[in-house]
Each structure stands twice: as structure tokens, then as C-alpha cells.
Amino acid sequence: MSYSFEPIGVVRSCFAEKFAIPRQPRLAPAATGVLELFPPYDRPEAITGLEQVSHLWLLFVFHAAASGPEHIRVRPPRLGGNQRIGVFASRATHRPNPLGQSVVRLDGIEAGRLHVSGIDLLDGTPLLDIKPYVPYADSVCEATNDLAPAPPVLLPVSWSSAALDQARMHAGRLQQPVLELIDQCLAQDPKPAYQQPDASREYAARFWDIDVRWHYPEPDRIHVLSVTRHG
């Protein structure tokens, strides 16, 4: 038995590459994007009523991750990358079927376009469905998960004065919360947990069309070095 699905739209996201995307939604509220709906779902009838909803479930394809039946055990980054658990105990991107789901905030509605924030999605992610978040059914106050008991511990992020000026300039040009986005994403420490960063090693990630470079002056502190236009 097999099923096939056609995307109903695509995510246009602040995240131009996977590195430094938060590991779950809502960890970076400044992470914004637009859900571009394909015909016929770009018609107003498809989204009538959504103005009464604050958050959405997005069901999407991990189009930039390998998937298949061989992905039965995974090594989640939050467990240090060495401990293996069953794929169904994890939210890993490498799965039997490349399906992801995220709760995001709905910030605005235009014809065929939904503005969202708090996303953990790569630019170009194919969307399979959108559903309203239903607080009384979806929020389980007695729920526990001992594999992921709390959000990641945040690292302090400092900025060089040049990087701060550059980020402000790009925020004005893009009309996006660039400083907040960089702060919120880097504070979650994008590098693999097993890496002990040398202060001389530089890391980089692309948000929108800008390259952000940083280093770790000490293992638990991030310093932003530059924020420059890509290319």
C-alpha cells in the first residue's frame, strides 16, 4: 500500500540553510516566514476562518534530509550525538517517511500567503497541509518527555560593534528582526554538542541573504564577528 501527496504550498523562510535553524518551533520567535499557497489553495475560500486562529500546525516534507526504512535508530543532537534511540522516540529529520510537523504563530493573512513566526523550517520546504492549533485538545499540561525535558540552555551572545552596525543595516533593508533572529538562534548553540570549539575557529550560517560569522571566545559564549550580504 502506498500513498502519494502533492504539496499545497511552499515555505519561504528566513533560514537559507539548515545549520543554525532551531531544533523545534517557537524557540526563536523572531524566525519569520511566509506560507505561499499553490492554486487552488491560494483562493480565499481555503483560508476563510483562519483570522480567528492564533497558531497553526504545519505538516511538511523534510525535503533536504535523507529518509527511508533504514532510519530506525537515530542519534539526536540534544543527547550529544552519541546516544542512539528509536526513530519514533525522536523528532529527527531522517525518518522512514520524511514528514515533519511544527506549531507556528500566524501573524498575518494575505491572498494566498500566510505570514508566520517561530518557525524551524528551511526555505523551500514543501507544505502538505495546514491545520489550526486547538488549545484544549493539543496542549497537554500533564505531558512528560524525559528525553527532552526542557528547552535548550541558552548561551550568552555578544556582538562586535561592526557586526551590530551591519545587522542593523540589514534589518532596515530587509524590514525583518535580524538582530533578534541572530541572537535567538545562536543562543541555542548551533554547533554539534560533541564539538569543543577552539576560540580561533569561526562558524557561519545564512539567514535571509546574509552570512553571519561567529566564534566561541570560551566554550560557552558566542561572539558575533560579522553580518554581511551573501555572495
In angstroms, give the least distance from the CB of 119 to ligand SAM: 9
User: How many residues belong to the site for ligand SAM (CB under 6 A)?
Assistant: 18
Contact 102, 55 (CB under 8 A): no
**Which CB atom, from 32 or from 102, has the smaller least distance to ligand SAM?**
102
Residues paired with 218 in a beta bridge:
221
In angstroms, give the least distance from the CB of 6 to ligand SAM: 16
The one among 16, 30, 117, 125 contacting ligand SAM by CB under 6 A: 125
The one among 46, 50, 53, 65 contacting ligand SAM by CB under 6 A: 65
**Which CB atom, from 62 or from 203, has the smaller least distance to ligand SAM?**
62
The one among 12, 26, 55, 63 contacting ligand SAM by CB under 6 A: 63
Sheet containing strand 157-159, strands side by side: 157-159, 221-229, 210-218, 202-207
Contacts of 227 (CB under 8 A, 6+ apart): 163, 166, 167, 170, 178, 182, 210, 211, 212, 213
In angstroms, give the least distance from the CB of 165 to ligand SAM: 29
| 120 scored as a contact of ligand SAM (CB under 6 A) | yes
In angstroms, give the least distance from the CB of 152 to ligand SAM: 11
- How would DSSP label each residue in 42-66? TSGGGGTTGGG-SEEEEEEE-TTS-
The one among 71, 91, 113, 221 contacting ligand SAM by CB under 6 A: 91
Nearest by Cα to 123 from 211, 190, 208 = 208
SS (H, E, C) 198-209: CCCCEEEEEECC
The sign of the CA dihedral 9, 28, 178, 114 is: positive
| 25 scored as a contact of ligand SAM (CB under 6 A) | yes
| 102 scored as a contact of ligand SAM (CB under 6 A) | yes
Return the CA Rg of the chain: 19
Between CA 32 and CA 33, with CA 122 as vertex, the angle to 5 degrees is 20
The one among 18, 131, 168, 230 contacting ligand SAM by CB under 6 A: 18
| 121 scored as a contact of ligand SAM (CB under 6 A) | yes
Residue nearest to ligand SAM (CB): 100
In angstroms, give the least distance from the CB of 61 to ligand SAM: 7
The distance in angstroms from the start CA to the end CA of the chain is: 46
Contacts of 40 (CB under 8 A, 6+ apart): 46
| 101 scored as a contact of ligand SAM (CB under 6 A) | yes
Give me the residues that bind ligand SAM (CB under 6 A), please.
18, 21, 23-25, 62-65, 91, 93, 100-102, 120-122, 125
